[in-house]
Structure 1
Amino acid sequence: MTDTPQHAPADADQRLRLLSRSDLAGLDIPLADVVATVEDAYRTLHAGQSDNPRKLTVKPADGHSVSYAMLGRDGSREVVAVKTSYKHGLDKDRSEQHYYTTLSIYDDVTGLPLAMMDCARIGALRTPAVSALIARECAVPGARSALVIGTGTQGRLALPFLLTTLPQLDRLMLSGSHPEGITAVREGLRAHFPDREVEIVTDLRTAAAEADVIVATAGGHTAAAVEADWLRPGALSVLVGHGLAPSTLHRADRVIATSEAQMNVTGTDMADPDGKLPPVDVEFPPVVAGTAVGRRTATERIFAYNSGLVVTDIALGHRFAQLAIAQGLGTEVALWR
């Protein structure tokens, strides 16, 4: 789905519309539309119409926090945006962590600001949509079973998005240790696919061996770590957070990444004892654009690294901004006066 650019009037004053988490929470957008928006962002990037520079990372020596800054330009929507992400308390339990992420969008036709918004919901939708696109392009033909590891933000919509791109899946498995997270996953699945049920698994090795698609979204404190020799022939393993051991990457028959540069920045926990990551066989944008092959054979085990590209945040953020502005949501501030 390509949004028709709706640019701010050239004579508008330089006010900034702030869109809070609550402003965005009530906006309704079907999962299929999210997938289409993200897919269009990949296609536009591959066509050379968008820019997605490597992200900047700051992390203190003791690892208690991590910060990212990402700049990008969407050529089809003609907007420029900056995304910031800050997470504090990585050395603590999830309940004690703090996470803030924002997206600031500028109209690259008029040169005026469009919106600054909380990016939490955008990320919660964009990431599982990308995993679902990877599954559509790279899962074994006729894939029937999926396993999601983790019940945090990125795990809660993983199954509904997988069913959006792979509706033939008939066994949905979940590995998680937080009761409230498991409940949230069930509620999310029921909201989008009320006739489907999720199977809670406790034997991760057995579940992994029976899954055609594995999406690992767990947090850094997880004890889950699927090994390469647990995987069935033809399995697709998608890493979003944690839950896969480094062997799934180093012993994969094919390695795919949304961005090899970003994988080399954020995927260092998957390095071998010498601190090295294997080369990526193909990046995902040309795969989704149809100019490169995702899967070559029905038996190869594929590892896919989903780090997320800022152009996908921009596309989805722009879509949310359009919907919010049309409904009169948000607060305008004269930030530069």
Structure 2
Amino acid sequence: MELLYLSRNDVEGLGISMKEVLEVVEKGFRLKGLGKTEMPPKPGIHTRPNSFIHAMPAYVKEVEAAGLKWVSGFPSNLERGLPYITGLLILNDAETGVPMAVMDSSWITAMRTGASVGISVKYLARQGSNVVGILGCGVQGRSSLRAFVDVLPDLSSVRCYDLYPDATKRFMDEMNRLFPALNLKACSSPAEMIERADVVVTAIPIVTKPNPPLHAGMLIRGGLGVSLDYDSAWSSSAMRECDKFVSDDINQLLFTKKEGGYFSGIPEEIYADLGELAAGLKPGRQNDTERIFCMNMGIAIDDMVTAKLIYERALERGAGTRLPL
């Protein structure tokens, strides 16, 4: 037996677009909402303070995508010149269970995370939203902007902030080259970043004892806040003032609250998860004045549908390296 090994360069070289990832991720959410997926809450180990190594298994029946992502997040890596997020993904044959592929999951994690933001925006942002704010100018800030460009037809202005000025400068330089039509502004504080922003995404390192910079009254009426960093950026007051609180997976949110010690300040009532919205089981935004908050923790369903897309494209292109099991 053999499996296909795909390095990060192999994966990136396939040229898969954000639009393609948005399509498969939305389908994954829809199937989740319809009960056609299998995904337990992700368990983790924590070898250093504020770090995690998570096991993320999932099965999406309709597309026969089954496997596991083994992913880590270490904030201290930034000081070592290493990526904050690293990992591998194993894709299995759903019929036999035999591993079909092992691939670097850095690109997958970045793109599917951005796509989850895009799906959140599709169902929860106000029509005509044209100003976005980005807190955290790293990999996930970049992928979120890529998704914004695809799902917000009126997007004209981007306000960004990062604790590290060098990170902000690199983000500005790269995004200005990619999206010259957008007005990008480097802000001096989180408060300036969120001013007048219709949609705000936060992607800073996840910590167990956060000091959130975003508070009640900062997200505009009719705005959407999307967290990719648990409760690191948003205070309890900011989340609780919102009219709707949504998650990419309620079971995982409650599991992490109980077992991991996060989310003590979230509202008692969780309106829906994105799967219910994508499946049409609940409405998303219902008027232009709702403040809405979406907690996207990252789910393995998104990883598996993206990995299956990568695997099939790699077979078409003859990419990767065959290895014996």
Fold match by TM threshold 0.5: yes
User: Following the alignment from structure 1 to structure 2, what is the Cα–Cα distance between the partners of residues 125 and 278?
Assistant: 31
Q: Does 1:332 align with 2:319?
A: no
User: Following the alignment from structure 1 to structure 2, what is the Cα–Cα distance between the partners of residues 104 and 42?
Assistant: 20
Task: State the AA in 1 paired with 2:44.
Answer: T
Per-residue displacement from partner, 1:296-335 (whole Å, max 9, x unpaired)?
3321211110112211100111111122222222222222
Asked whether the equivalents of residues 135 and 193 of structure 2 are also in contact (C-alpha less than 8 Å), the reply is no
Q: 1:27 to 1:148 in 2, by over 3 A?
A: same
Asked whether the equivalents of residues 152 and 219 of structure 1 are also in contact (C-alpha less than 8 Å), the reply is no
Q: Does 1:115 align with 2:101?
A: yes
1:89-238 superposed matches below 5 A: 90=75, 92=76, 94-96=78-80, 99-190=85-176, 192-220=178-206, 225-238=213-226
User: Following the alignment from structure 2 to structure 1, what is the Cα–Cα distance between the partners of residues 40 and 306?
Assistant: 18
- SS in structure 1 opposite 2:88? strand
Which range is displaced more, 105-114 or 128-137? Answer: 105-114
Task: State the AA in 2 paired with 1:330.
Answer: G
User: Following the alignment from structure 1 to structure 2, what is the Cα–Cα distance between the partners of residues 332 and 212?
Assistant: 47
Counterpart of 2:29 (choices 42, 54, 60) is 42
Q: 2:18 maps to what in 1?
A: 31
Asked whether the equivalents of residues 37 and 59 of structure 2 are also in contact (C-alpha less than 8 Å), the reply is yes
Asked whether the equivalents of residues 270 and 277 of structure 1 are also in contact (C-alpha less than 8 Å), the reply is no
User: Following the alignment from structure 2 to structure 1, what is the Cα–Cα distance between the partners of residues 299 and 190?
Assistant: 30
Q: Which runs of 5+ in 1 are unaligned?
A: 1-13
TM-fit CA distance, 1:114:
1.7
Asked whether the equivalents of residues 34 and 125 of structure 1 are also in contact (C-alpha less than 8 Å), the reply is yes
Q: 1:163 to 1:99 in 2, by over 3 A?
A: closer
- SS in structure 2 opposite 1:173? strand
User: Following the alignment from structure 1 to structure 2, what is the Cα–Cα distance between the partners of residues 120 and 308?
Assistant: 13
Task: State the AA in 2 paired with 1:131.
Answer: V
Q: 1:298 to 1:35 in 2, by over 3 A?
A: same
TM-fit CA distance, 1:220:
4.0
Task: State the AA in 2 paired with 1:294.
Answer: G
Q: Does 1:308 align with 2:298?
A: yes
Q: 1:42 to 1:171 in 2, by over 3 A?
A: same
Q: 1:207 to 1:21 in 2, by over 3 A?
A: closer
Percent identity over the alignment is 24
TM-fit CA distance, 1:140:
1.8
Task: State the AA in 2 paired with 1:229.
Answer: G
TM-fit CA distance, 1:136:
1.6
TM-fit CA distance, 1:256:
0.3
TM-fit CA distance, 1:287:
0.6
Q: Does 1:248 align with 2:238?
A: yes
User: Following the alignment from structure 2 to structure 1, what is the Cα–Cα distance between the partners of residues 263 and 277?
Assistant: 23
Q: 1:195 to 1:206 in 2, by over 3 A?
A: closer
Q: Does 1:69 align with 2:59?
A: no
Which range is displaced more, 219-228 or 207-216? Answer: 219-228
Asked whether the equivalents of residues 186 and 197 of structure 1 are also in contact (C-alpha less than 8 Å), the reply is no
Q: Which runs of 5+ in 2 are unaligned?
A: none
User: Following the alignment from structure 1 to structure 2, what is the Cα–Cα distance between the partners of residues 148 and 18?
Assistant: 34
Task: State the AA in 2 paired with 1:300.
Answer: E
TM-fit CA distance, 1:223:
6.7
Per-residue displacement from partner, 1:266-287 (whole Å, max 9, x unpaired)?
4644423xxx753311111111
Count, aligned residues:
316
TM-fit CA distance, 1:137:
0.9
Q: Does 1:59 align with 2:46?
A: yes
Q: Does 1:271 align with 2:264?
A: yes
What is the aligned-residue RMSD (CA, Å)?
A: 2.3
User: Following the alignment from structure 1 to structure 2, what is the Cα–Cα distance between the partners of residues 58 and 255?
Assistant: 28
User: Following the alignment from structure 1 to structure 2, what is the Cα–Cα distance between the partners of residues 189 and 249?
Assistant: 29
User: Following the alignment from structure 1 to structure 2, what is the Cα–Cα distance between the partners of residues 191 and 40?
Assistant: 31
User: Following the alignment from structure 1 to structure 2, what is the Cα–Cα distance between the partners of residues 57 and 112?
Assistant: 24
Asked whether the equivalents of residues 135 and 204 of structure 2 are also in contact (C-alpha less than 8 Å), the reply is yes
User: Following the alignment from structure 1 to structure 2, what is the Cα–Cα distance between the partners of residues 190 and 27?
Assistant: 24
TM-fit CA distance, 1:122:
0.4
User: Following the alignment from structure 2 to structure 1, what is the Cα–Cα distance between the partners of residues 174 and 253?
Assistant: 29
User: Following the alignment from structure 2 to structure 1, what is the Cα–Cα distance between the partners of residues 67 and 184?
Assistant: 37
Q: 1:181 to 1:324 in 2, by over 3 A?
A: farther
Give the TM-score normalised by the residue count of structure 2. 0.89
